[in-house]
Amino acid sequence: MLPQEAIRAKRDGQCLDAVTIRDLVAGISDGGLGDAQVGALAMAIYLRGMDAAETVALTEAIRDSGEVLDWSGLDLPGPVLDKHSTGGVGDLVSLVLGPWVAACGGHVPMISGRGLGHTGGTLDKLEAIPGYSVTPDTATFRRLVKDVGVAIIGQTSELAPADKRLYAVRDVTATVESLPLIVSSILGKKLACGLDALVMDVKVGSGAFMPTPEASRELAETIAEVASRAGTPTTALLTDMSQPLAPCAGNAVEVREALAVLTGERRDGRLLEVTRTLAAEMLMVGGLAADRPSALARLDERLASGAAAERFARMVAGLGGPADLLEAADRHLPTAPVVREIRAERSGYLRAFDTRALGMAVVELGGGRRAPGDAIDPAVGLADIAALGERVAAGQPLAMIHARSEPEAERAERQFLAALEIGETALAEPTLIHDIIRREAP
C-alpha cells in the first residue's frame, strides 16, 4: 500500500495490517517517508488510535528497525532482564535495582535516558560520577553485562532508529500523548535489548508522566499486554509519585542516596520499598525465584552481604568511573557551593506536594534542561526532603537546597514552599504500590 493511502486509511479510522505498519516504519527509518508524511501518520494515530494488534505490530516494527541484541553467544548463566520507569522526581530506582538484580543472578543491559521535563534522567545522574561513560563500545557493554551482570548506558544509534525520528516529529506536532505511540516508543527500545522479561514502573500522582490515575492504569495495562504479545513476559507496577520517591532530587545527591541504600546506610524508606518490590517481580518473572517470599529473602541477603554494592562498584569502574567510589564518594562526587535549609513557615502536617513543581525547581537550579542542548549542573538539587504526613513545627527544616548561588537558592526556596500544603490535620499516607499487573507471553 502506498504510504499516503495507508495514512488515509488510518485517518478514516481503519485498522492497518502488520505488513503495512512494518512498511511505514521502514520508511520512517530509512527516510522513505518525508517529515510531512510522518507527522500526518502520527496525527492520524493520535486522533483515531490503534487497536491491540496494531500496537503490537507497531512495537515490533520499531524494535526491528535497527539492531536487536542477541545474547545467545555469551552463554549467560542467568536470564536477561530489565526495568523501565515512566519517570518522576527522586526516582533513582535504576541505580539500585540493576546491580541488586545482577547480584541475584540476573543480567541487566539497561538502556536509559536523560531528564525530560520535570523528571530526572538516569544518565544525568550517572554522569555526576567523574569518568563514567554512558556511550561505551559494544564489546565493553556486552562484557559488563556478562561479567558484572549489569551495565547502564544510553541508547545507541543502532537500537530502534525509527523511534528516534518518530519521536522528534511527535514532539513538534502535538502528538506525544498518543497511547499507542507512547507504548511503542517505550517498548520498541526496550525489546530491542533482547530481553527474557521486563518489569515496568508506571507512576501515579502529582509528579507522574500521565495526567490522571486512570491514564496511568491504562498505560500500565497496555504496556504489559503489548510487550507480552510481542514475546516478552512483562509485569507492570503502578507506584506512587505524589511526593519525591527518595528524600532528594538532583544528580549527585541522588547518587549519594543510591550508595546509602546499597551500602546499608539507608535501611528503610519509599525508595527501598519500591525498588525491592520491582526487583522481586524481576526475579520471579525471570525464573530466579519461585515466589515472592523466596525472591525477597534472596534480595535481602544479597543487599546485606554487600554483593549488590559490589556490582555497582564494578559497573562504575568498568565504565570509566573511580574504582573507590563506594569508599570515597565525597572525594569524587561534586558538591554545590551554597547549601541552605528550607524551614517551615507554620506548624502543622505536610498534606500534599506539587511534585512536578519540585522537579521544575531542580531544573531551574540547573539540575535539568530547559532546552535539549542545555548543560547539567550535577551538584545542585534538593536533599533531606520531609515526607507527607510528617508533623512539622514552624522553623523546622523541610529540605536542604544545594545551589550554585544565593539568588538561585532563594528562588528554589520560594518554589519549594509554594509547592507544599501544610494543614492542621494529617491525611492518610499515600498508597505506595497501587497495583501489580502480570502478563505472560503467549
The per-residue pLDDT for range 129-140, each reduced to its tens digit, is: 999 999 999 999
pLDDT, averaged across the chain? 95
Residue of 112, 156, 185, 277 marked active site: 185
- CATH number of the CATH domain containing 355: 3.90.1170.30
Annotation says 23 is catalytic: no
Q: Are residues 148 and 292 in the same domain?
A: yes
Q: Buried b vs exposed e over 165-191: b needs ≥16 C-beta within 10 Å?
A: bbbebbeebebeebbbbbbbbbbbbbb
Residue of 22, 114, 125, 190 marked active site: 190
In a domain, 96, yes or no: yes
In 3D space, the residue among 184, 189, 181 whose CA is nearest the CA of residue 154 turns out to be 189
Structure pTM?
0.93
Spatial distance between the Cα atoms of 409 and 380, rounded to a whole number of angstroms: 10
Annotation says 189 is catalytic: yes
Spatial distance between the Cα atoms of 188 and 392, rounded to a whole number of angstroms: 46
Annotation says 122 is catalytic: yes
Share of the chain above pLDDT 90, in %: 88
Annotation says 85 is catalytic: yes
Q: Are residues 348 and 400 in the same domain?
A: yes
Q: Buried b vs exposed e over 104-116: b needs ≥16 C-beta within 10 Å?
A: bbbbbbbbbbbbe
Model pLDDT for residues 166-192, shown as the tens digit of each residue: 988 987 898 988 999 999 999 999 999
Residue of 170, 276, 302, 332 marked active site: 170
In a domain, 61, yes or no: no
Least reliable range by pLDDT among 30-44, 88-102, 114-128, 345-359: 114-128
Burial of 320 (C-beta count, 10 Å sphere; 0-12/13-18/19+): middle
Q: Are residues 208 and 317 in the same domain?
A: yes
Span 312-317, average pLDDT: 98
- Which residues is 111 bridged to in the sheet? 153
Residue of 22, 118, 165, 189 marked active site: 189
Residue of 122, 206, 216, 355 marked active site: 122
In 3D space, the residue among 403, 375, 144, 392 whose CA is nearest the CA of residue 250 turns out to be 403
Q: Are residues 315 and 343 in the same domain?
A: no
- Which residues is 381 bridged to in the sheet? 250, 402
- What is the band of 210 on the pLDDT scale with cuts at 50, 70, 90? confident
Angle formed at CA 66 by CA 61 and CA 67, multiple of 5 degrees:
120
Annotation says 125 is catalytic: no
Spatial distance between the Cα atoms of 423 and 435, rounded to a whole number of angstroms: 29
Q: Are residues 347 and 244 in the same domain?
A: no
Q: What is the pLDDT of residue 375?
A: 86
In 3D space, the residue among 350, 51, 3 whose CA is nearest the CA of residue 229 turns out to be 51
- CATH number of the CATH domain containing 128: 3.40.1030.10
Q: Are residues 273 and 125 in the same domain?
A: yes
Annotation says 82 is catalytic: yes
All three cell numbers of 123, joined, read 544518565
In a domain, 297, yes or no: yes
Residue entry with cell 519525591 = 244
- Report CA torsion sign: 281, 437, 120, 61: positive
End-to-end CA distance of the chain: 30
Share of the chain above pLDDT 70, in %: 99
Q: What is the pLDDT of residue 369?
A: 80
In a domain, 364, yes or no: yes
Model pLDDT for residues 221-250, shown as the tens digit of each residue: 999 999 999 999 999 999 999 999 999 999
CA distances from 373 to 115, 358, 364, 381 (A): 12, 22, 15, 20
- What is the band of 114 on the pLDDT scale with cuts at 50, 70, 90? confident
Annotation says 163 is catalytic: no
One-letter amino acid at 91 equals D
- Which residues is 112 bridged to in the sheet? 154
In a domain, 60, yes or no: no
Residue entry with cell 502535538 = 174
Range of the domain at 20: 3-49
Q: What is the pLDDT of residue 441?
A: 80
Residue 6 above 90 pLDDT? yes
Q: Are residues 14 and 104 in the same domain?
A: no
- Tell me if 404 sits within 8 A of 366, measured CB to CB: yes
Q: Are residues 122 and 38 in the same domain?
A: no
Model pLDDT for residues 257-300, shown as the tens digit of each residue: 999 999 999 999 999 999 999 999 999 999 999 999 999 999 99
Most confident of the following: 96-105, 204-213, 372-381: 96-105
Residue of 10, 22, 84, 302 marked active site: 84
In a domain, 64, yes or no: no
Q: Which residues contact 323 (CB under 8 A, 6 or more apart)?
A: 313, 316, 317
Q: Are residues 175 and 313 in the same domain?
A: yes
Span 5-13, average pLDDT: 97
- What is the band of 95 on the pLDDT scale with cuts at 50, 70, 90? very high
Annotation says 170 is catalytic: yes
Radius of gyration of the chain (CA): 22
All three cell numbers of 401, joined, read 537546597
Span 343-354, average pLDDT: 96
All three cell numbers of 417, joined, read 514552599
Residue 407 above 90 pLDDT? yes
All three cell numbers of 214, joined, read 486512570
Q: Are residues 163 and 28 in the same domain?
A: no
- CATH number of the CATH domain containing 14: 1.20.970.10
- Tell me if 179 sits within 8 A of 209, measured CB to CB: no
Q: Are residues 255 and 322 in the same domain?
A: yes
- What is the band of 372 on the pLDDT scale with cuts at 50, 70, 90? low
DSSP 105-127: T-BEEEEE---BTTB--HHHHHT
Span 358-375, average pLDDT: 86
How many domains are there within the chain?
3
Q: Where are the beta strands (DSSP E) in 320-363?
A: 338-343, 348-353
Residue 357 above 90 pLDDT? yes
Q: Are residues 147 and 251 in the same domain?
A: yes
Span 94-122, average pLDDT: 91
In a domain, 95, yes or no: yes
Helix segments in 52-210, DSSP class H: 52-63, 93-103, 122-126, 138-147, 161-171, 179-191
- Tell me if 389 sits within 8 A of 426, measured CB to CB: yes
- Which residues is 237 bridged to in the sheet? 201, 436
Residue of 23, 64, 82, 163 marked active site: 82
In a domain, 428, yes or no: no
